[in-house]
């Protein structure tokens, strides 16, 4: 980083700030507000804004001064929200066309059924139109964490499905998402795209940003951030993130 301390601290959401599809712990919610009183804070995830609200926004303490410094980037930054004094409001959304959506939905359903990965007992819809992203969740959007971990512990199913769908949609980006999900967006959309959008909207250089993620390994959905040269901190879950934030907060001065 060009400065001694980061000016922006960004986070993945699932398994970094909270268990997959689950609310953040009160400890983390307070840490994010405390951090936003020191630097700009961003959360970048493949989830849609509804997921952000349920997991994060609805759990944050009532602190308008701090919330003004929090940036939300659902669907990897193809949508962008900032707090307007009363709520997080949309700045932009770069949606897929109707043709792109219909082709993506058809391809992923047909390939999942062909490969035997279309489950009949699920927790909510398997397919979701997130506007700028089509998401396949093998066990449904609300599946419990233990069930998701058991469905594809080696990620072989996700990888096979991703490759099959990508072959049918060469004009779109198809990538592994969470533990049981595959995401389809326009080409070039990943968390690196989100970080570029964050830099553009905030006016702060990528060199002055710090990113926390649980999947910085090769092939992980946080890896594009590391590959683009942003300083990164690898974590193993929300508790690890919280411990590391305790240390970071002691190093950063509160805004005057």
Tens of pLDDT, residue by residue over 227-242, are 999 999 999 999 999 9
Q: What is the pLDDT of residues 109-118, one digit of tens each?
A: 999 999 999 9
> d(Cα 108, Cα 128) in Å, to the nearest integer?
11
Pairing of strands 134-137, 181-186: antiparallel
Q: What is the mean pLDDT of residues 113-135?
A: 95
CA distances from 173 to 77, 105, 106, 177 (A): 14, 13, 15, 12
pLDDT at 38 over 90: yes
> d(Cα 151, Cα 153) in Å, to the nearest integer?
6
* Local confidence band at 177 (pLDDT 50, 70, 90 cut-offs): confident
CA distances from 235 to 17, 113, 238 (A): 10, 34, 8
Q: Is 74 exposed, middle or buried (0-12, 13-18, 19+ CB in 10 A)?
A: buried
Residues sharing a CB contact under 8 Å with residue 102, sequence separation 6 or more, in sequence order: none
Q: How does the average pLDDT of the chain come out, rounded? A: 94
The per-residue pLDDT for 256 is: 64
pLDDT at 36 over 70: yes
> d(Cα 252, Cα 6) in Å, to the nearest integer?
9
The answer to whether the pTM exceeds 0.95 is no
Decide if 5 contacts 251 (C-beta within 8 A). yes
């Amino acid at each position: 980083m060009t400065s001694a301390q980061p000016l922006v601290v960004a986070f993945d959401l699932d398994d970094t700030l909270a268990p997959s599809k689950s609310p953040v712990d009160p400890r983390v919610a307070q840490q994010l507000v405390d951090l936003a009183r020191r630097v700009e804070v961003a959360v970048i995830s493949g989830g849609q804004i509804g997921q952000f609200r349920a997991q994060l926004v609805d759990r944050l303490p009532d602190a308008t001064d701090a919330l003004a410094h929090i940036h939300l980037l659902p669907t990897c930054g193809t949508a962008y929200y900032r707090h307007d004094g009363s709520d997080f409001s949309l700045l932009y959304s770069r949606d897929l066309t109707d043709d792109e959506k219909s082709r993506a939905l058809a391809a992923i359903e047909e390939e999942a059924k062909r490969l035997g990965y279309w489950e009949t007992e699920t927790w909510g819809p398997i397919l979701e139109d997130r506007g700028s992203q089509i998401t396949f969740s093998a066990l449904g959007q609300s599946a419990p964490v233990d069930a998701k971990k058991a469905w594809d512990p080696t990620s072989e199913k996700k990888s096979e499905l991703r490759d099959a769908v990508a072959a049918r949609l060469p004009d779109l980006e198809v990538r592994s998402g969470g533990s049981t999900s595959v995401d389809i967006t326009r080409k070039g959309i990943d968390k690196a795209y989100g970080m570029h959008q964050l830099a553009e909207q905030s006016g702060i250089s990528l060199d002055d940003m710090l990113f926390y993620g649980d999947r910085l390994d090769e092939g992980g959905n946080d890896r594009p951030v590391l590959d683009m040269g942003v300083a990164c901190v690898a974590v193993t879950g929300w508790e690890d993130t919280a411990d590391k934030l305790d240390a970071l907060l002691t190093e950063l001065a509160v805004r005057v």
